[in-house]
Structure 1
Amino acid sequence: MNHALWWQYAVIAALVTVSTLYMLRKLAPAVSWRWQARMASWLLRRRGGMWQALGRRWLPPAKGGGCGGGACDGCGDSGDALPPLEQKIQFHRRR
C-alpha cells in the first residue's frame, strides 16, 4: 500500500474516534462522566508529576445540586424566574 494511503486511514480513524467521543458526551453524559472520573483517578495514582497534573486537569466537575449548585434559577419568588418553555399557539384564518 501507498504511504499516503496509511495517513488517510489514520486521519479517518482519528475523526471517527473524536466523533464517537463527542456523541457519547452528548447522548450519555453520566457514562462519560464516570469514565472520565475513572481515568482521572487512575492518572492521579501514578507516580510521575506530569501524570498527576494531567489527572487533576481531567477531573470532571463536581455534581452540584440544591442551592447554588446550578440546579435551578434560584430559590423563592424573586420575579426573575425564566419564562416557561411552553407557550400557547394561536391560529388565524386566512382572509
Structure 2
Amino acid sequence: MNSLWWQYLIIGLLVAASLLYMARKLAPAVSWRWQARLGSWLVRRRGAPWQALGQRILPPARAGGCGGGACDGCGDSGDALPPLEQKISFHRRR
C-alpha cells in the first residue's frame, strides 16, 4: 500500500504536463499571458532563487523587426511572402 501514492503522484505529474502541453498548443496567447504573469510575480519576490526562476520563466518580449513577429523571419528586406491575390486580365475574342 505504500507504493500506491507514488503511482498517483507520477500519474498526476504526467496529467499536469499533458494539460500544460495542450494549453500551449491550443491557446498560445492565453498560455503566454499566464507565463508572463507567473514570471513577473516570481521576479517581484524577495528571494534570489525565486527571482532567477522568474527571469527564466518570463517569455521573450515581443519586438518589431526580424524574428520579432513582424514577418516570417525570412532575413531579407523584400516582401516576406508573395501576394496571395493576382490580377486577372480578360481579353476579348476577335
Matched AA of 1:49: A
The answer for unaligned runs of 5 or more in structure 2 is 83-94
Matched AA of 2:62: K
Q: Give 1:71-90 correspondences, 5 Å limit.
A: 71-72=71-72, 73=74, 74-76=76-78
Output the TM-score relative to the length of structure 2: 0.72
Which residue does 2:10 correspond to in 1?
A: 11
Which residue does 1:23 correspond to in 2?
A: 22
The answer for unaligned runs of 5 or more in structure 1 is 84-95
Report deviation, 1:63. 1.8
Output the TM-score relative to the length of structure 1: 0.72
- Among all aligned residue pairs of Structure 1 and Structure 2, give the percentage whose two residues are the same amino acid: 65
SS at match of 1:3: coil
In the TM superposition, what whole-angstrom CA distance separates every residue of 1:15-34 from its partner, at most 9, and x where no partner exists?
Answer: 00000001101111101100
In the TM superposition, what whole-angstrom CA distance separates every residue of 1:36-56 from its partner, at most 9, and x where no partner exists?
Answer: 000011011111111111111
Which residue does 2:54 correspond to in 1?
A: 55
Aligned pairs, how many?
78
